[in-house]
Amino acid sequence: MSSGDPLADSVILWTRLVPTDPLPADDIAVDWEVATDDTMQNVVATGTGTAFAALGHSVHVDVTGLEPDTRYHYRFRVGDFATEPARTRTFAAAGTTPERFRFAFSSCQNWEQGYYTAYRDLIDQGELDAFVFLGDYIYEYASGGYADPRGRETGQDFECVTVDEYRARYALYLSDPLLRAAHAHVPWIITWDDHEVDNDYAGASSEGDDAVDAFLERRAAGYQVWYEHMPVRLDPPTGPEYPIHRSFAHGDLLRFHVLDTRQYRSDQQRKEPFIEALGPAVQERDEALATSPDHTMLGEEQSTWLEDGVAASTAIWDVLAQQVFMFGANAIAGSDPPIIVVDTWDGYAGERERILESIGAAADNLVVLTGDFHSAAVGQLRSDPFDLSRPVIGAELMASSISSGFFDDVAVVADLVGPAIVANPQIQWFDARRGYTICEVTPESWRATFRAVADPFDENTTVDTISEWQITAGTPGATQV
Ligand SMILES: [Fe+2]
């Protein structure tokens, strides 16, 4: 049970019927109600949704006619069964400027690389206005693939390819009580990354260079089952093409521009040789490819949508909710061309430069939220990150992962990342622990608090604040508090 994609007058409610016995092959009616109190006494909206058999008996309800900037509680009923009430809210109406918005964000919850303790801590933070999830909701690997021996096992001895396999994986992930509690606590705004389909896929190119037709069939299965499980304001997909970029505003305070950096992207560069110690993920940049106008991360339609959306935005804070880091990282100091992580925006430098110059000029204040990298960072955004003479046009906040590992070998992190960070002054702070980030936003300032999980393999571990950053409206970039 979850909610998401709030507008000023509506929110999406989601649930899915989980069979104890096989469910009938029919659609099933599911009643829902929305109240202003957690005991569900003051009911303000009711209705009946449909659990569509063709969509894994999932239910998506768009509850309309709600009051702006208001907290609500909701539950579902089937027959004699009623769910526990859960919390949600609407966003503020256009033309108003709320005094405060408090949300959290994170990504990457590999079942086999740690517990979801970060969500317990998130719930302990009290009322939040939204939780933004930046992808890798599931991992498609067969059990044991990229697993940590200290972690849980999925017990699913298959890499997800078919609808049934993806459904089995989501069902397992959603059996986690902390994940379910986090959904019941706050409305989510969700995008996907690669693992909802296939590691490091790009457009129609799979990681393993499968035949395009076969991969698009797999992509369609992954997209469908993602839709079946997410509280998103979207129609169900009807094939491998599925636009999910969308935007949400909390009055004129803040607007999220939610991006998809997988579906439309050109394949990552595949240069030889690569940095042997790090594998093909880290290579000297192919400058001609990275700056080619045809080499894209967002695709033409989405990048135009983004530029138009930021230009039209009346928000004090324009926020990109997206996946891979933009702040740039040269793995070896002074290397020219830089040594880059080819899956990040560094591999798509021409498009990054064009988009950052456009939206940097159009936004009153630009903040980029990033996931993917299983580690936390704060960075300055320049249209060319390695040209420090260019102006800083915004701040990037990279939240760590809920459970996915970076390198759990402390020495590797120290040897590898330490020197790289020093060589990249635009990266102002870095930490490899798992966790999430809380943001408290007002018209004047943005405070980002990074929370880190002490031991990802201990369900009762502590979660603590490890760093706090401040962005002042009108002054691009973040400073440590
Ligand atoms: Fe991930």
83 and 102 co-located in one domain: no
What is the arithmetic mean of pLDDT over 395-416? Answer: 87
Q: What does the pLDDT read at residue 421?
A: 83
Q: How far apart are CA 449 and CA 466, in angstroms?
A: 8
- Report how far residue 204's alpha carbon sits from residue 206's, in angstroms, rounded to the nearest whole number: 6
> 328 C-alpha vs ligand 1 centroid, how far in Å?
18
pLDDT at 412 over 80: no
Three-state secondary structure call for residue 230: coil
- Say which residues have a Cβ less than 8 Å from residue 295's Cβ, sequence separation at least 6: 266, 289, 348, 350, 351
CA of 439 to the centre of ligand 1 (A): 21
Band (pLDDT 50/70/90 cuts) for residue 214 is very high
Same domain, yes or no: 66 and 206:
no
Helix, strand, coil percentages for the chain (3-state, nearest 5)? 20, 30, 50
Confidence of residue 125 (pLDDT cuts 50, 70, 90): very high
Residue 56: domain span: 1-90
Q: 38 alpha carbon to ligand 1 midpoint, in Å?
A: 35
Rounded to an integer, the average pLDDT of 346-368 is: 98
Average pLDDT (43-56) is 97
Q: What is the tens place of the pLDDT at every residue in 253-264?
A: 999 999 999 999
Q: Examine the domain organization and report whether 361 and 411 are in the same domain.
A: yes
Considering the chain, what percentage of its residues have pLDDT values greater than 90? 90
Residue 271 pLDDT > 90: no
In angstroms, what is the span from residue 43 Cα to ligand 1's centroid? Answer: 40
**What is the Cα–Cα distance from 297 to 196, expressed in whole angstroms?**
17
Overall size of the chain counted in residues: 481
Instruction: Record the tokens describing residue 71, joined without a space.
Output: 């907290």
Average pLDDT, integer, range 400-414 = 85
CA of 136 to the centre of ligand 1 (A): 5
What pLDDT, on a 0 to 100 scale, did the predictor assign at position 64? 98
Q: Are residues 63 and 145 in the same domain?
A: no
Residues 202 and 333 in one domain: yes
- Of the CA atoms within 13 Å of residue 334, those in its CB half-sphere come to 0
Q: Per-residue confidence at 323, pLDDT binned at 50, 70, 90?
A: very high
Q: What is the 131 CA–ligand 1 centroid distance (Å)? A: 17
The reply to whether 109 and 50 lie within a common domain is no
CATH code for position 208: 3.60.21.70
Q: How far is the CA of 29 from the centre of ligand 1 (A)?
A: 36
* Residue-level pLDDT at 480: 98
**One-letter amino acid for residue 386 of the chain:** F
Q: How far is the CA of 372 from the centre of ligand 1 (A)?
A: 5
Please identify, among 66, 90, 114, the residue that sits at the C-terminal boundary of a domain.
Answer: 90
Closest CA to 109 of 235, 229, 264: 229
The residue from 90, 111, 133 where one domain ends is 90
74-84 mean pLDDT: 94
Q: Which residues pair with 106 in a beta bridge?
A: 133
Contact criterion met (CB below 8 Å) for 40 and 223: no
Task: In whole angstroms, give the CA distance from residue 463 to residue 472.
Answer: 27
Residues 245, 364 share a domain: yes
The per-residue pLDDT for 333 is: 79
| pLDDT number for residue 453 | 98
| Mean pLDDT for the stretch of residues 409-418 | 77
Residue 422: its pLDDT value, please?
Answer: 81
Predicted confidence band at 22 (pLDDT cuts at 50, 70, 90)? confident
CATH number of 36's domain: 2.60.40.380
Q: How far is the CA of 378 from the centre of ligand 1 (A)?
A: 18
Tell me, yes or no, whether 53 and 134 share the same domain.
no
Adjacency order of strands within the sheet including 58-63: 58-63, 11-16, 2-4, 188-190, 130-133, 101-106, 435-441, 445-453, 463-472, 475-480
> How many CA atoms are closer than 13 Å to the CA of 455, on its beta-carbon side?
7
69 Cα: distance to centroid of ligand 1 (angstroms): 32
Does 424 lie in the same domain as 413?
Answer: yes
Q: What is the mean pLDDT of the chain?
A: 96
Is residue 23's pLDDT more than 80? no
Give the distance (Å) from ligand 1 centre to CA of residue 71.
Answer: 31
CA of 371 to the centre of ligand 1 (A): 8
Which of 43, 69, 90 is at the close of a domain? 90
Q: How far is the CA of 47 from the centre of ligand 1 (A)?
A: 37
> How many angstroms does the Cα of residue 369 sit away from the middle of ligand 1?
15
